[in-house]
A and B are shown apart, each in its own frame.
Chain A
Amino acid sequence: MADLSVNFAGLKSPNPFWLASGPPANTGGQVMRAFDAGWGGAVWKTIGEPIVNTTSRYGAIDYNGVKVMGFNNIELISDRPIEDNLREISEVKKRYPKHLVIASLMVESKRESWHEMVRRTEDAGSDALELNFGCPHGMSERGMGAAVGQVPEYTEMITSWVKEAARTPVIVKLTPNVSDIARIAAAAEKGGADAVSLINTINSLMGVDLDTFAPRPVVAGKSSHGGYCGPAVKPIALHLVASVAKKVRIPISGIGGIGYWNDAAEHIALGATTVQVCTAVMHYGFRIVEDMIDGLSQYMDDHGFRSIEDFRGRAVPNVVDWGDLDLNYKIIAEIHPELCIGCQLCYVACEDGAHQCISPYTAAGNGKKNVNGMGVHVPRIIEEECVGCNLCALVCPVENCITMKEVKTGLPAMSWNDRTRQRAADPGCALPPTPGAD
């Protein structure tokens, strides 16, 4: 059986699955139930001077009958007194010494305030600190959260203040609402951070009620931009995790759109050592961690990975600049007629939305007939025209009915950057041909 335990910046976690700072980690009672369910750690709901929340706080996007594809909130940090949170942290740690309790903190940007907060939290027994430099709404208007995390100099400075006082590892949580997240990660590293976690939520408005013109989520007819998260943000999160992994040496806790073990595995393959989950728990409860553990173990066993380190970061070197992609690699679409159901979606997609390389009917069909005796019209790929964009395979509703097959060009691998370099070295050189270039 695969060993799921990890060492994250010196912290030992029974598995890589942590609750992200948010409503599921709001109280000691919840965190203890989460640990019972199997979560390895919990990042406490951000602690600071208690705030007042609005009612009506969340919005969601449903897609094709699937609920909560995307989720957003305009909640602030914990609305509970600091003492209550700290007391419960002590209690949880006493009862669950092997699980990790990480305190998420946010205080006003004053050196003494941070020192004071760090001391109190560590005295309560937390295993590590996560600095919330990411909250995009509300708190940032008060000069905290993303207001810090969007400026590399502030990030570095406040991280270094915390490090002056901290005895436990310091994790800096990053906001995606910046133009270059890797720069902010580097600033945190420079400030002494032991790790980074990302992503916090993305600035968003969930929609507009078209009768009242109130944006969502509606607070007395108005709304404010909130933080977007849930399944819809995973691709964004993966990209940002990968760019940070390429930039810094400190460990990463991956967050964003994780609902299943394979989402977690992808974050790990792109460099994360642990992962954090919020929306999926808000949707389905703590119990989802059971399959996360089970599924990840299965996957690792199937691939012969004995520990998380065996595959962590394996995909990072494969994330390259566009200029380093091989222009001589060629694939084209192939339709497997026996699987075709005759929906013609590939045809209309390619005809109207891509490169006009599919003809709608084949003379032969595939021999299938429906109850009305009508045959199934199987489209045909015009192979000479196909640019290999994947669109038809992506829209085809039948698994494996359209696959992309590699066509050997017989040409050596060559990227745009290779070409540019060749040209720079020898401006008069004849460039080798590339497939599809006329």
Chain B
Amino acid sequence: MPLRQTAPKLSPEQYEANFADIAPPLTRQQAAVEAARCLYCFDAPCTQACPTHIDVPTFIKKIWTGNLRGSARVILEANILGHSCGRVCPTEVLCEGACVMHEKGEQAIAIGRLQRYAVDDVLDKDIRMFHAGAPNGKRVACIGSGPASLACAAEVAKWGYAVTIFDRHDLAGGLNTYGIAAYKTRAPDSLREVELVRQLGVEIRQKTEIGRDISFAELEKQFDAVFIGVGLGETWGLEIPGDNLHGVYGAMEFIEQTKVKPFHHLEVGQRVACIGAGNTAIDVVTAARRLGAETVYLIYRRSEREMPAFKYEYDLAKKDGVIFLWQTQPIRVLARDGAVTGLECLRTRLGEPDARGRRSPVPIAGTEFTVEADMVVRAVGQRPVTEFLRPVPGIELRKDGTVVIHERQQTGNPKYFAGGDCVNGGKEVVDAVAEGMAAARGLDAWLGSPRAKG
């Protein structure tokens, strides 16, 4: 059934312009000038701030000297997804946030963009940076092919482990392929990095769901250790009447379309209401506007101050002309002839701070009003998909579904290690990489490798 009113289609050029890289690649000259600005700090705060501790001053100095391959090696040794991270990391709160230039009253060094510049060079030239280690006869399975698993797999493959990655999805890469805003990175960019991992001899088996297509017993028989990097699943429901009507989408469902379909094949409402105010909600509203939606609302129960999205993500949505409805709580999805027409909402006031210190919204009776919309998107957080792990003895899950880990990312079942969104509850690509690498060191140590000391 069609949406009540869809946004008119744009020209192909317009779509491309709307979804063009928000941080375009640096030219040689720009990179040279930017690299020259780097002070080459000793014991640098940017390196400390990066979850994967990339040696930032060293890779930037190498760009400056024209040694791009060496620069890429420094980056990729610390973080096999260094290209993606350069594009998608919230650098403002990571490396660039720690840049000493702030203290100097100057713009931070464009670390993310320089990082991408260096890695682009080896990817574009198809230069092979790493090789599988001499086989050590041991086998590792990774569940999921997102950043956490890719990082874990690449690391242990370099040490000679035979690695198989299983993913239930059609394409590898996890949310790096399917989830991140198209103006930051496109699916083919993510797949280029998956190729780097495949080049290390890692086998990737798509459309294979662990717990359904392959049992844990079988997995344990074939592999010496298992890494769990299954990320998060679909978006939470709204639990209000009309939640399941046609025209109500989950954030991931909507965003995934923008990553795998040509833009002109996508249907978007002329008026779109997105519920939630995290980074994912921002990705939804910016994508909707860029696809041509005329009016896009972001609806949040609390006020601007409590908004969980990063400031620069919020700025992006403001620039895209999104309308923010603060202290607004949807209570019912409205429809006519089965198609969404809008949301009935209540105003809220902010009550006492909750456990996390955020003031909780209290709906005000009698303040009902209608937000007209042809499409509603839920962006109120994602559900973990870890229930399928229940049969594995020893693995503990928290109430919110995240996997409990101990030292070195090891779960309560010593054969299983875990990392990424399914452990941290949903952070960034770079955190998933860092945890995947930590798990690699963990399982290597557990399997008795002499590498592991301390």
Contact B39 A374 (CB under 8 A): no
Q: B424 → chain A, closest Cβ, in Å?
A: 17
Stretch at the interface among B98-106, B179-187, B346-354, B432-440: B98-106
Q: Taking A370-B102, A372-B97 as contacts, is the C-beta distance between A65 and B32 under 8 angstroms?
A: yes
| Minimum CB distance partner of A375 in chain B | B45
Task: Let me know if A345 and B42 touch, CB within 8 A.
Answer: yes
> Which A residues are CB-close (under 8 A) to B102?
370
A343 in the interface, Cβ–Cβ < 8 Å? Answer: yes
Complex interface: chain B residues within 8 A of A341 (CB) = 100-101, 103-104
* A52 interfacial by beta-carbon distance below 8 Å: no
Q: Which of B36, B44, B45 has the most CB of A within 10 A?
A: B45
**Is the beta-carbon distance between A374 and B104 smaller than 8 angstroms?**
no
A22-64 vs B, Cβ < 8 Å mask (1 yes, 0 no): 0000000000000000000000000000000000000000001
A368 beta carbon closer than 8 Å to chain B: yes
Q: Are A376 and B103 interface neighbours, CB within 8 A?
A: yes
Known contacts A371-B93, A372-B49; is A345 also within 8 Å of B98 by CB? Answer: no
Indicate if A285 sits at the interface (CB-CB under 8 A). Answer: no
Quick check: is B392 within 8 A (CB to CB) of the other chain? no
Question: Which of B40, B93, B104 counts the most chain A CB atoms within 10 A?
Answer: B104
A344 within 8 A of B: yes
Which residues of B in the span 63-93 have a Cβ within 8 Å of any Cβ on A? 64, 92-93
Chain B residues whose CB sits within 8 angstroms of the CB of A343 once the complex forms: 39, 41-42, 44, 100
Contact of B103 among A65, A342, A347, A348 (CB under 8 A): A342
- Give 11 A-B pairs besides A370-B49, A374-B45, A374-B48 with Cβ atoms closer than 8 angstroms: A64-B64, A65-B32, A65-B36, A340-B103, A341-B100, A341-B104, A342-B100, A343-B39, A344-B44, A370-B102, A371-B93
Q: Once the chains are docked, how many angstroms separate the CA of A377 from the CA of B100? A: 11
CA distance A343 to B38 in the complex (A): 10
Contact in complex: A368, B93 (CB < 8 Å): no
Q: Which residues of B contact A (CB under 8 A)?
A: 32-33, 36-37, 39-45, 48-49, 64, 92-94, 97-104
| 23 A-B pairs with C-beta separation under 8 A | A65-B33, A65-B37, A341-B101, A341-B104, A342-B45, A342-B100, A343-B39, A343-B44, A343-B100, A344-B41, A344-B43, A344-B44, A345-B40, A345-B41, A370-B45, A370-B99, A370-B103, A371-B97, A371-B98, A372-B97, A374-B45, A376-B103, A398-B104
Docked CA distance A374–B98 (Å): 8
Task: Name the residue of chain A whose CB is nearest to the CB of B35.
Answer: A65
Question: Complex Cα distance A163/B43, Å?
Answer: 65
Instruction: Report Cα–Cα, A374/B101, bound state, in Å.
Output: 14
Question: B39's contact among A347, A371, A372, A397, by CB below 8 Å, is which?
Answer: A397
Interface code A383-411, partner B: CB below 8 Å = 1, 0 otherwise?
Answer: 00000000000000110000000000000
A65-B36, A374-B48, A374-B49 as given contacts; A368 in contact with B103, CB under 8 Å = yes
Complex-state Cα separation, A162 to B42, whole angstroms = 61
- Do the beta carbons of A371 and B40 come within 8 Å of each other? no
Query: Taking the nearest CB of chain B, how far is it from the CB of A62, in angstroms?
Result: 9
Q: List A contacts of B98 (CB < 8 A).
A: 370-372, 374
Cα distance, A140 to B100, chains bound together (Å): 52
Least distance between B3 CB and chain A CB atoms (Å):
41
Q: Tell me the minimal C-beta distance from A341 to chain B in angstroms.
A: 4
Looking at the assembled complex, report how far the CB atom of A68 sits from the nearest CB atom of chain B, in whole angstroms: 15
Please measure, in the bound complex, the distance between the C-alpha atom of A368 and the C-alpha atom of B33, giving whole angstroms.
Answer: 28
Query: Is A169 in contact with chain B by the CB < 8 A criterion?
Result: no
What total of chain A residues lie within 8 Å of the partner, measured CB to CB?
A: 20
CB proximity of A360 to chain B, nearest CB, Å? 7
Residue of A nearest to B97 (CB): A371
| Chain B facing A: main interface SS | helix
Residues of A within 8 A of B32 (CB): 65
The one of B36, B39, B48, B92 in contact with A345, judged by C-beta atoms closer than 8 angstroms, is B39
How far does the alpha carbon of A372 sit from the alpha carbon of B64 in the complex, in Å? 27
Q: B100 — which chain A residues lie within 8 A by C-beta?
A: 341-343, 376
Most buried by A among B36, B37, B64: B36
- In the bound complex, residues from chain A placing their C-beta under 8 Å from that of B92 are 371
Return A69 CB to nearest CB of chain B, in Å. Answer: 12
Residues of B within 8 A of A374 (CB): 45, 48-49, 98
Chain B residues whose CB sits within 8 angstroms of the CB of A348 once the complex forms? 42
Which chain A residues in 305-356 approach chain B with CB under 8 Å? 340-345, 347-348
Cα–Cα, bound, A372→B36 (Å) = 25
Q: Which of A212-238 touch B at CB < 8 Å?
A: none
A151 to chain B, nearest CB (A): 42
Cβ contacts under 8 Å, A377 to chain B: 43
Tell me the complex Cα distance, A343–B99, Å. 9
Nearest B residue to A361 via CB reads: B43
- Complex CA–CA separation, A344 to B103 (angstroms): 13
CA distance A341 to B33 in the complex (A): 21
Select from chain B the residue with minimum beta-carbon distance to A399. B104
Closest 6 CB pairs of A and B: A371-B97, A341-B103, A344-B42, A64-B36, A65-B33, A341-B100
Docked CA distance A368–B103 (Å): 8
The complex places the Cα of A182 from the Cα of B98 at a distance, in Å, of 54
Q: Which residues from A are CB-within-8-Å of B42?
A: 343-345, 347-348
Q: Which B residue sits closest to A340, measured CB to CB?
A: B103
Q: Give Cα A201–Cα B43 distance, bound, in whole angstroms.
A: 42
- A372 partner, pick from B37, B41, B93, beta carbons under 8 A: B93
B48 proximity list for chain A (CB < 8 A)? 374
Contacts of B33 in A (CB 8 A): 65
Q: For B64, what are the chain A residues with a Cβ–Cβ distance below 8 Å?
A: 64
Chain A proximity of B338: nearest CB distance (Å): 48
Complex interface: chain B residues within 8 A of A397 (CB)? 39, 104
- Chain A: which residue is nearest B96 at the CB level? A371
A27 vs chain B, min Cβ distance (A)? 33
**B230 nearest CB across to chain A (Å):** 28
Residues on A with beta carbons closer than 8 Å to the beta carbon of B39? 343, 345, 397
A340 to B97, CA, bound (A): 17
Instruction: Please measure, in the bound complex, the distance between the C-alpha atom of A172 and the C-alpha atom of B190, giving whole angstroms.
Output: 68
Inter-chain contacts of B37 with A (CB < 8 A): 65
Give the chain B neighbours of A370 by CB distance below 8 A.
45, 49, 97-99, 102-103
Collect the chain B residues with CB atoms within 8 Å of residue A372's CB.
Answer: 45, 49, 93-94, 97-98
Distance in angstroms from B91 CB to nearest chain A CB is 11
CB neighbours of A371 from chain B (8 A): 92-93, 97-98
> Which residues of A have CB within 8 Å of B36?
64-65
Residue of chain B at shortest CB distance from A366: B103
Contacts of A64 on B, CB cut-off 8 Å?
36, 64
**Which residues on the B side are within 8 Å of A398 (C-beta)?**
104
Nearest-Cβ distance from residue A209 to partner chain B, whole angstroms: 13
Bound: A398/B44 CA distance, A: 16
Please name the residue on chain A nearest to B29 by beta carbon: A65
**Whole-angstrom CA separation of A368 from B102 in the bound complex:** 11
**A residues near B94, Cβ cutoff 8 Å:** 372
> In the complex the two chains form, what is the Cα distance from A214 to B64 in whole Å?
23
- A343, B36: Cα distance in complex, Å: 15
In the complex, A72 Cα to B41 Cα: how many Å? 33
How far is B91's CA from A371's CA once the two chains are assembled, in angstroms?
11
